[in-house]
Chains A and B, each alone.
Chain A
Amino acid sequence: MTATGTGRAAGTGRSAPPGLYALMDRYLDGDARAFAALHAALAPRLTAFLVHLVRDTAAAADLVQATWLKAHLARARFQVQGASPDGAVQAWYFTIARNLAVDWLRAQVRERRRREPGDPDGGERDPLAEIPSDLPTPEELEIGEAEAQEITSRVRDALAQLPAGQREIVELHKFQGLSMAEIAARLRIREGAVRVRAHRAYKALAQWLTPSLRALLVLLARGGA
């Protein structure tokens, strides 16, 4: 990730504290005391920012921790491209925090829909509506969810067209996560036969779902959700 150094962190509406870049520079060189000072300077701002985004104090606290860890693991890629090095440092951390918040909110929306499939709003406020404008809107996420459901439905229809012997193997392999050897043991057939049937099944699915091969990939990635 590259911080763009505009002098103001994205979505924070606050100017960066002076001296952040000097601390970041020393932290990147391995100075633990500089990191502690950077942490002290930014942690309250990050916490307030994330509480504002996710409206959940406990979740925000976890996301703050995740933000620091993610930034630490990616610190070699930090670079200043703008006129304000201090702002670039703040933007770097707040961009990571915002991305983590969006991921968390998306997971919350998915979880709510899973629990209450008939209630698109989940009966509560939609936290995604309060994310800054350059992030996916609830409508975009709604479209994404609808598209995913349609894809899932299409793949399930395609699965239903498979011969029973092939469908059973696909379900055991992708939905239950069994290995080919485990499937062979369960069905009491040779592993080679399982592999041949699986190959034919996936080939047929790919043909039926073409051009939307992505659908199959989505289904496989979801583990048959």
Chain B
Amino acid sequence: MTIDAKALIADDLGERRRERLQHFRPAWLLAVAIPIVGLVATGARDDFWAQPTWILVLQALVWGLALFVLPALGLGLWFPGRAARIALGLVAAAVAFLVAAGPALLDRSYPTGLEDHPIYQIGCGALTLGAGALVLAVCALSGAFAQRRRSAGALWLAAAIALVGIDTTTWHCVITGLEHTLPSHLGAGVLMLLVAGLVGAALHRRQREAA
């Protein structure tokens, strides 16, 4: 017998990795499609390119976290150390907060006077939750939450889903006041995180037990 067990096992792990990716691909495609369809259908906010560069960078960073970094952690495609995971969690929370509340706190050049209008409150909350819920549903159906051994993996995916919702809303809504963004952008995102986390953890347990 002349075999290279190390190479065979590495190949097998690579195959498992590709299988995990397959489980997330539908949700990933949807997460990419949601903002694109939204932009095509209704267009971006009027002041999109007039936003300060640092806000645009933060919004791009949120997309990067939501589409690549957090799913890689949640699916078990990337295994950073504990310190790096904690740092990533803190970075994700910080950029989500800054994308939602940064313009009001750090750049007051875009007051709109619509901050406390209930229609916009409900509309943005619904958009945040709706965008996240679509991705959550596809994740649930495709088995993405059950790819890691521990249910903590589901939380990373839930965070990605919440960021998709927050950034989608941010790209459409010109209202930057805290009275609006804290409840209907960030608040709805946090609610999405909680719901997706609970659903993901429950599905993780059920699907792992069934397997």
Contacts and interface: CB of A to CB of B under 8 A. Distances in A.
Interface of A: 26-36, 39, 43, 62, 64-69, 72
Contacts, number: 50
Contact of B76 (A30, A33, A62): A30
B20 to A, nearest CB: 7
A66 B10 contact: no
Contacts of A62: 1-2
Interface stretch (B11-19, B37-45, B120-128, B129-137): B11-19
16 contacts: A28-B149, A29-B76, A29-B148, A29-B149, A30-B13, A30-B20, A30-B76, A32-B17, A35-B13, A36-B6, A39-B6, A43-B6, A65-B5, A67-B5, A69-B5, A72-B5
Nearest to A32: B13
Interface in B122-160: 148-150
A69 B13 CA distance: 12
B210 interface: no
Contacts of A36: 6, 10
Contacts of B54: none
B106 interface: no
A145 B197 CA distance: 60
Contact of B79 (A29, A65, A66, A67): A29
Given A65-B1, A66-B5, A26 B13 contact: no
Is the interface on chain B under 10, 10 to 19, 20 to 34, or 35 or more residues? 20 to 34
Contacts of B12: 72
Contact of B8 (A26, A28, A30, A69): A69
Nearest to B19: A30
Given A36-B6, A62-B1, A62-B2, 16 more contacts: A27-B13, A29-B79, A30-B17, A31-B13, A32-B14, A33-B79, A35-B10, A65-B3, A66-B5, A67-B5, A68-B5, A68-B6, A68-B9, A69-B3, A69-B5, A69-B9
Contacts of B209: none
Contact of A30 (B2, B5, B16, B150): B16
A65 B4 contact: yes
A43 B12 CA distance: 19
Contacts of A68: 5-6, 9
Contacts of B14: 32
Contacts of A32: 10, 13-14, 17
A26 B14 CA distance: 14
8 nearest A-B residue pairs (beta carbon): A68-B5, A65-B5, A31-B79, A32-B13, A62-B1, A30-B76, A72-B9, A69-B5
Contacts of A64: 5
Of the listed residues A34, A66, A72, the one surrounded by the most CB atoms of chain B closer than 10 A to its CB is: A72
A66 B8 contact: no
Of the listed residues A32, A33, A72, the one surrounded by the most CB atoms of chain B closer than 10 A to its CB is: A32
